[in-house]
């Protein structure tokens, strides 16, 4: 089961453990061209103009054509149970729709139209805070152009604000197989968005010097004003680039990015709470073979890493036995106190990893030689994403939703057993109401 520990945040239902070793099938290295300006007529404009907000997407609504192609889907826990958001593409434009589910994973109402945007949405993300939801998406317009958009939804799913935050040029947009956008709702009027965008200069780790590298950009959205809140950017050298989660560690938000160029290359961005500029955190960030996974358990930054030889060791590829020790865990507090053995700087090899129920809710118990820890996504201050393993917790069920709308439901029984059961799938082709 450890062989699936690095599942995507939108993995199909049913995976109950946490890490996958990196794929052995290479993808071509990506060297995106320089950024295009915000509009074709102003191509000579400099970087600040490229981030000037554009007009919001058109709010018209229409039933999707029969030929509409389902697009990316994401979901988050909400006050009613679960909020699901997905897109569909009709060949020229894309529609984003949302639907509220109850704590058991059943629809409370038909899908609701959120917005329509030009191009094809290639990634979207949703995050909730106190009944409100923040939505961010990346759409491919006419290759090689893309845009980043955002919207905020009220509890009744009406749009209270929407804006195109960025337009950029990237020949490799459609080829990047990783996540293109993340969003973290901190409050109804406060969110952080991370997304691909214009290339950013970074150091070439093989030949030296600098070059244009895949760029990742950070935005803060405060007060619902949708001003130009581009606060940070980072380039990561190589191809096959991707990014990890936006992790809320309480004192700030951390984003990891990585790529491959003669081996793995890493970069990260840390935005302290309330700041308008990125900074270097005081706590160490262990960097290991990507893809890796991070979270915060309320006290410590938790990093799950595949062992350095996990991509080559046959035990790691084929064994479901935790004793194969293909997975490492690293824990460090915000004051930089390491909680796992210092003799294992990349993290302690796991000897056990068990998903179980405790006090009527799911937890993840991990152990290593000489120590153990319980990871509880519901603990105060915790930011542990267990959607690949259990979905989101509604207070009654764990509800997990696959990209095709299939729903799996988990429940803790009185004897703390974890029981799984199917739920009727979502109708992703259903017409959306205004």
Kindly list the strands in the beta sheet with 371-375, ordered across the sheet, starting from the edge strand earlier in the chain.
Answer: 371-375, 361-368, 348-358, 327-333, 300-306, 289-297, 382-383
Q: pLDDT of the chain along its 434 residues, tens only?
A: 333 343 444 443 333 333 333 333 333 332 333 333 333 333 333 333 334 444 444 444 444 445 688 999 999 999 999 999 999 999 889 999 999 999 999 999 999 999 999 999 999 999 999 999 999 999 998 777 899 999 999 999 999 999 999 998 876 565 456 789 999 999 999 999 999 999 999 999 888 899 998 899 999 998 767 776 899 999 999 888 899 999 999 999 999 999 988 889 999 999 999 899 999 999 999 988 888 899 999 999 999 987 654 444 555 554 555 444 578 999 999 999 999 999 999 899 988 888 889 989 999 999 999 999 999 999 999 999 989 888 999 999 999 999 999 999 999 988 888 888 889 999 999 999 98
From CA 425, how far away is CA 381, in angstroms rounded? 32
By the 10 Å C-beta count (0-12 exposed, 13-18 middle, 19+ buried), 318 is classed as: exposed
pLDDT attached to residue 59:
43
pLDDT attached to residue 92:
87
pLDDT attached to residue 372:
96
How far, in Å, are 11, 95, 228, 245 from residue 403 at the CA level? 7, 16, 32, 18
State residue 314 phi and psi, 5-degree precision: -60, -30
How many other CB atoms sit within 10 Å of the CB of residue 220?
Answer: 19
Beta pairing partners, 267? 257
How far, in Å, are 39, 166, 243 from residue 50 at the CA level? 8, 7, 22
pLDDT attached to residue 426:
96
pLDDT attached to residue 220:
94
Flag whether the pTM goes above 0.85: no
From CA 321, how far away is CA 309, in angstroms rounded? 16
pLDDT attached to residue 262:
86
């Amino acid at each position: 089961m450890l062989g699936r520990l690095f599942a995507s945040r939108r993995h199909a239902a049913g995976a109950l453990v946490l890490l996958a070793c990196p794929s052995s099938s290479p993808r071509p290295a990506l060297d995106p061209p320089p950024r295009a300006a915000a509009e074709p007529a102003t191509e000579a404009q400099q970087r600040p103009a490229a981030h000037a907000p554009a007009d919001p997407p058109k709010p018209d609504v229409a039933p999707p054509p029969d030929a509409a192609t389902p697009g990316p889907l994401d979901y988050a826990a909400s006050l009613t149970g679960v909020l699901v958001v997905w897109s569909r593409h009709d060949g020229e434009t894309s529609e984003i729709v949302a639907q509220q589910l109850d704590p058991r994973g059943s629809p409370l109402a038909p899908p609701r139209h959120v917005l329509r945007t030009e191009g094809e949405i290639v990634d979207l993300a949703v995050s909730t805070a106190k009944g409100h939801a923040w939505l961010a998406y990346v759409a491919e317009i006419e290759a090689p152009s893309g845009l980043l958009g955002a919207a905020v939804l009220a509890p009744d799913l009406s749009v209270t604000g929407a804006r195109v935050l960025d337009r950029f040029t990237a020949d490799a947009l459609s080829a990047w197989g990783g996540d293109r956008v993340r969003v973290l709702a901190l409050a109804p009027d406060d969110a952080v968005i991370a997304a691909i965008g214009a290339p950013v200069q970074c150091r070439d780790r093989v030949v030296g010097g600098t070059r244009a590298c895949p760029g990742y950009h950070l935005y803060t959205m405060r007060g619902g004003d949708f001003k130009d809140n581009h606060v940070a950017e980072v380039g990561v050298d190589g191809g096959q680039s991707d990014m990890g989660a936006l992790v809320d560690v309480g004192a700030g938000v951390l984003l990891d990015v990585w790529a491959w160029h003669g081996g793995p290359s890493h970069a990260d961005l840390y935005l302290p709470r309330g700041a308008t500029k990125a900074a270097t955190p005081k706590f160490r960030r262990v960097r290991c073979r990507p893809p890796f996974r991070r979270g915060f358990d309320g006290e410590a930054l938790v990093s799950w890493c595949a062992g350095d030889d996990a991509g080559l060791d046959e035990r790691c590829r084929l064994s479901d036995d935790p004793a194969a020790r293909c997975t490492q865990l690293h824990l460090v507090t915000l004051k930089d106190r390491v909680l796992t053995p210092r003799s294992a700087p990349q993290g302690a090899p796991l000897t056990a990893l068990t998903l179980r129920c405790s006090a009527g809710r799911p937890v993840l118990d991990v152990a290593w030689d000489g120590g153990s820890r319980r990871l509880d996504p519901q603990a105060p201050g915790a930011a542990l994403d267990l959607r690949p393993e259990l979905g989101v917790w509604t207070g009654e069920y764990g509800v997990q939703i696959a990209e095709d709308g299939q729903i799996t439901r988990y429940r803790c029984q009185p004897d703390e057993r974890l029981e799984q059961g199917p739920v009727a799938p979502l109708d992703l082709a259903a017409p959306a109401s205004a």
